[in-house]
Chains A and B, each alone.
Chain A
């Protein structure tokens, strides 16, 4: 049973435009949400996170939105750059366990 879903396996966006990556989760007990970026042959790199007590967190070009009622998480990248081309994973964590549960990833391609 997949607790974290990224329903779009890939996304293609023009440079300068907004990239929106989505993530849905099933368990309302999750209370910490993260996005990681992964390039080929490298480990996941932490991007941004949000606690369940917030609905938005911003860091430069990256903004994460959390809709707890819909159990939905999204990552906005504005403006998108070719260097953002990578696989993006959302991950969730519960307060009583440290393990991360990952989505299956979305491959973002930003073209000129």
Chain B
């Protein structure tokens, strides 16, 4: 158990809908990262928050957004969903910034029908 929790574990929805994925980092960790794993793309970095502030952006679509709350949990919002958004979404956390090991949650499997 990495100490990172993600809910829900599975999500099935329809195209055009909006969903919210939730992540609670390990106790004491200030950084939260979101990654997407799809069949053909591997694990891709989406976005990072550090202590409530956006720190880095990767290959995140404009239809996707995230935030980190004062209690350090994070939410990833996916809107106007398309079939191609079906993937595993992982959250990771680390103590701070830089060369800190990232610990991953169990992921949320999203299926868009």
Shortest Cβ distance from B27 into chain A, in angstroms? 17
B 1-42 contacts with A by CB, 8 A = 2, 4, 6, 31, 33, 35, 42
Decide: B33 and A89 in contact? CB cutoff 8 A.
no
Given contacts A93-B99, A98-B48, A99-B48, contact A45 B2 (CB under 8 A): yes
CB <8 Å contact, B99 and A99: no
Q: Which of A42, A46, A91, A104 contacts B106 (CB 8 A)?
A: A42
Nearest-neighbour CB distance to chain A for B88, whole angstroms, equals 9
Closest to A99 in B: B45
CB contact under 8 A between A46 and B102, given known A97-B56, A98-B48, A98-B56: yes
B76 smallest CB distance to A (angstroms): 15
CB-CB contacts below 8 Å: A33-73 with B: 34, 36, 41-46, 49, 51
A-B contact pairs, 23 of them (CB 8 A): A32-B99, A41-B106, A42-B106, A43-B6, A43-B92, A43-B107, A44-B104, A45-B2, A45-B104, A46-B102, A46-B103, A49-B101, A97-B56, A98-B31, A98-B94, A98-B97, A99-B56, A99-B58, A100-B92, A100-B102, A101-B45, A103-B42, A105-B42
**Chain B contacts to A: CB under 8 angstroms:** 2, 4, 6, 31, 33, 35, 42-45, 48, 50, 55-56, 58, 90, 92, 94, 97-107
